Amino acid sequence: MSDMVVVLGALAVAAVRLWAWRRWHPVSFWYGVEFPTRAVSVYLTWHHVSSGCRLTRKRQRFRLTLDAVPVVGAASRSTATVVQKRRVRRVDVERAPRLGLLRPTRLGWRVRLRLHDGQVPEDYEKAAEGIAHAWRVHSVRVVDVQPGFVTLWATLRDPLVDVVTEPETGELLRVRPGRLENGHDWVIDFRVMPHWLNAGATQSGKSNLANALIKGLAPQPVALVGFDLKGGVEFTPYAPRLSALATTRKESVDLLSDLVGEVENRMALCRENGARNVWTLPEALRRIPVVVLVDEVAELFLMADKSEKDEVARTATALLRLAQLGRAFAVYLVVCGQRIGSDLGPGVTALRAQLSGRVCHRVNDPETANMTLGDLDPAALDVARAIPAETPGVCVVAGQDGSWQRARSVYVPESAAEQAARDYAHLTPDWDTLINSVPTVRPAA
């Protein structure tokens, strides 16, 4: 009896210790206890799980079997004698795809799988949800496809529920507006990916992302320019940090022509200095980067009546020109919108093709997701369509190389972005000075 008490007591102490370990040192608990336990269970159940998800293949194998064989010439049927004989037979066996080494990540694990002949990565994408349920994890995603192999990436819980980011590092033109699903910071680096399309339904988090960008860029030596044709209600509060803001069609036509003029100046400056882009200009000649934020792009393209046709056409041409030349001459675009389809006008599709960074928030119609992410992996579309309304700010972020991730912007209320705009108002370059400063071109040798 007393032995029993000692054993129960020891078990209770061990349980409390494990609980306390998990509670106060979740990271070491994950790597030291939880991950190894999960890994053992994944390997032990893999055959069963892959069979349930129809990923196994039947193979014929030779097997030694023990068969019951009636003895020929036995006295009568009723007393037929049977003997056991060993025989080599061909039998069907189910083979699971071969599982590589499970590698722990901060929020789950990654594991490489060898495809059976005839299997394609899409078979695993279809099975991913079933595997996630079997493994009791938040999601399983197919990543890193190589000939004959895929990598499954399992995440234990949704890392996008509470999003906080590390403080900004202040690197020029780099902003960390939120978190990626893999637990890393989401980084928008305009020098790597110059133009962005930020799409989503109303209340999906588009403006929040714009706020996060304004807050992140405000302390940097960059000029911010806004287009807000919904009466200026979105961007006017940030005016102290904006070098220029257009709130009517007339203003936007003028501002766009300023911007195109500035890009052309920069182009001439680079040409005369034998530089391919502003970054290779001598330090003294370098021009300040300009980030252009467009709140609702449809407003720029919609015509109230025929008289605006000409202005809309000029707007479309100017935006496209900015997008085409901006990368080399440090003028970057962030274009937000609910819908960015060809119904807005012929220039829109060409513009969209230039905006290689894509952010797709929750959308109401599959068409918008298609327009934003359509040229990418179909799995990205499914994920974008599944974003629920309860989690504004969650989005699918995609880059030029076709890779994509779920992400969520950190919550930046208007007041925080306004505060940043006021705090760094002294850094705002004056627009007229910026566009009229004649570049000091070196005398030709």
Ligand X SMILES: Nc1ncnc2c1ncn2[C@@H]1O[C@H](COP(=O)(O)OP(=O)(O)O)[C@@H](O)[C@H]1O
Of 34 and 299, nearer to Mg ion (C-beta) is 299
> 236: how many CB neighbours lie within 10 A of its CB?
13
Least separation, in Å, of the C-beta of 253 and Mg ion? 23
Shorter beta-carbon distance to Mg ion: residue 182 or 207? 207
Residue 76 marked in a binding site: no
Is beta strand 331-337 parallel, antiparallel or unpaired with respect to 357-360? unpaired
Length of the chain: 445
Tokens 């076709």 appear where? 402
Helices (H), 227-308: 249-272, 297-301
Buried residues in 152-182 as b, exposed as e (16+ CB within 10 A): bbbbbeebbeebebeebeeeebbbbbbbbbb
Tell me whether residue 127 or residue 210 sits nearer to ligand X (CB atom): 210
User: How far apart (Å, rounded) are the C-alpha atoms in residues 130 and 132?
Assistant: 5
Beta-ladder partners of 115: none
| Structure token pair of residue 341 | 């389809």
Which one, of 140, 139, 176, lies nearest residue 161 by Cα? 139
Residue whose C-beta lies closest to ligand X: 393
Our finding on whether 409 is near ligand X (CB under 6 A) is yes
Question: Counting contacts by CB under 6 A, is residue 392 touching ligand X?
Answer: yes
Residues 186-225 that bind ligand X (CB under 6 A): 200, 202-208
207 lies in the site for Mg ion, by CB under 5 A: yes
With CB under 5 to 8 Å by kind, the binding choice for 76 among Mg ion, ligand X, none is none
230 assigned to a ligand binding site = no
Q: Does 148 appear as a known binding residue?
A: no
For the bound state, the minimum distance from the C-beta of residue 272 to ligand X, rounded and expressed in Å, comes to 42
Burial per residue of 348-373, b for 16 or more beta-carbon CB atoms within 10 angstroms, e otherwise: beebbebbbbbbbbbbeeeebbbbbb
Nearer to Mg ion, 207 or 220 (CB): 207
The residue from 244, 408, 418, 428 that contacts ligand X (CB under 6 A) is: 408
Contact segment (CB under 5 A) with Mg ion among 170-178, 200-208, 306-314, 406-414 equals 200-208
**Among residues 289, 345, 347, 393, which is the contact residue for ligand X, using CB under 6 A?**
393
Cβ–Cβ < 8 Å for 340, 372? yes
Q: If we measure between CA atoms, which residue out of 238, 228, 358, 202 comes closest to residue 297?
A: 228
Report whether 205 belongs to an annotated binding site: yes
- Known binder of ligand: residue 372? no
Question: Which among 110-118, 214-222, 407-415, 422-430 is the span making contact with ligand X, rule CB under 6 A?
Answer: 407-415
Tokens 């989005």 sit on residue: 395
**From the list ligand X, Mg ion, none, partner contacted by residue 327 (C-beta under 5 to 8 A by kind):** none
From the list 41-49, 59-67, 367-375, 404-412, the region that binds ligand X by CB under 6 A is: 404-412
| Binding partner of 205, given Mg ion, ligand X, none, CB within 5-8 angstroms per partner class | ligand X
The binding site comprises 200-207
Binding site for Mg ion (CB under 5 A): 207
Binding residues for ligand X (CB under 6 A): 200, 202-208, 392-393, 408-409, 411
